[in-house]
């Protein structure tokens, strides 16, 4: 069974009196353990697609299933709980809380989920260790480089042990060497722990590192030679 599947999905946005169709007729299945990327020009629907797969948004038409359960009709509160349990999210601009140190940033989603501080700190330390930042627990984001901040964000995304991590252009604010290192890190976490990763990018060098590419154009998936 697919981990996530989208079937016949359209996404429209209201824009004044008209509607913009951002995604059209999307059929996509993602299996556990995949390492894949979405690419395509600006405006092709990458962010819209990742938001649907990440359960951050709902389709206008069509269905989204997570581990066989239809989730696109769930009330928002249940959708949020399902998302918190299964999906980690990494943002282009890192989105770390500036007044919290690296450890506290990683602890935050665990504590919101009801985990006690001591257990949350232990998990946070382990996650920071996994992304190569075990020594940097007490640093605030402004005391870390861009690449290190994105590693903290990846550690945070992994905190609750999600099956899937989605990352919308996670390297857009990083230089090309740092970008490659971030993709290598995601690859290592994918290989070692079986975490499914789906990220979007414009960078052909990063696309070379994935097992599967989804090419979007004008809101449709276009077939590519395997
Ligand atoms: N909130 C929104 N309201 C109206 N139009 C939107 C909104 N978000 C995205 N769009 C439009 O949907 C299309 C796809 O956008 P997006 O998913 O952001 O593509 P990408 O991430 O590939 O640049 C674009 O035409 C964009 O202008
Ligand atoms: Mg985008």
The residue ranges of every structural domain in the chain are: 33-58+81-222
The alpha carbon of 49 and the centre of ligand 2 are apart by a number of angstroms equal to 9
Quick one: pLDDT band at residue 225, thresholds 50, 70, 90? low
Over residues 48-95, the pLDDT tens digits come to: 999 999 999 999 999 999 999 999 999 999 999 999 999 999 999 999
Please spell the DSSP secondary structure of 161-214, one letter per residue. --SEEEESSTTTTS-HHHHHHHHHHHHHHHHHH--EEEEE-S-HHHHTT-SEEE
Q: Residue 113: its pLDDT value, please?
A: 86
Ion ligand 2 neighbours, Cβ < 5 Å: 46-47
Quick one: pLDDT band at residue 223, thresholds 50, 70, 90? confident
Q: Residue 226: its pLDDT value, please?
A: 59
- Closest ligand to Cα 40: 1
CATH of domain 33-58+81-222: 3.40.50.300
Ligand 1 site, residue 46, Cβ cutoff 6 A: yes
Over residues 103-135, the pLDDT tens digits come to: 999 999 999 889 999 999 999 999 999 999 999
Atom of ligand 1 nearest to the CA of 44: 22
Note the Cα 204 to chain centre separation in Å. 19
Atom of ligand 1 nearest to the CA of 49: 17
How many Cα neighbours within 13 Å face the side chain of 204?
Answer: 0
Give the residue, by CA position, lying nearest to ligand 1 atom 24: 43
Prediction pTM value: 0.95
Average pLDDT value for residue range 213-217? 97
The alpha carbon of 6 and the centre of ligand 1 are apart by a number of angstroms equal to 18
């Amino acid at each position: 069974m697919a981990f996530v599947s989208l079937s016949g999905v359209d996404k429209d946005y209201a824009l004044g009196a008209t509607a913009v169709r951002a995604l059209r007729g999307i059929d996509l299945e993602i299996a556990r353990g995949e390492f894949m990327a979405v690419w395509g020009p600006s405006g092709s629907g990458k962010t819209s697609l990742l938001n649907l797969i990440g359960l951050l948004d709902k389709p206008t038409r069509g269905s989204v299933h997570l581990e066989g359960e239809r989730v696109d009709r769930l009330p928002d509160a249940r959708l949020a709980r399902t998302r918190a349990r299964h999906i980690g999210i990494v943002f282009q601009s890192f989105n770390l809380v500036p007044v919290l140190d690296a450890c506290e940033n990683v602890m935050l989603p665990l504590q919101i989920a009801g985990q006690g501080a001591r257990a949350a700190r232990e998990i946070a330390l382990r996650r920071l260790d996994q992304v190569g930042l075990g020594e940097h627990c007490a640093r605030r984001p402004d005391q870390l480089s861009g690449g290190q901040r994105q590693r903290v964000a990846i550690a945070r995304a992994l905190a609750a042990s999600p099956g899937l991590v989605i990352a919308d252009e996670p390297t857009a604010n990083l230089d090309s060497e740092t970008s490659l290192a971030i993709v290598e890190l995601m690859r290592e976490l994918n290989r070692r722990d079986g975490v499914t990763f789906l990220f979007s990018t414009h960078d052909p060098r990063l696309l070379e590192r994935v097992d599967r590419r989804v090419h979007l154009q004008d809101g449709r998936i276009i077939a590519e030679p395997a």
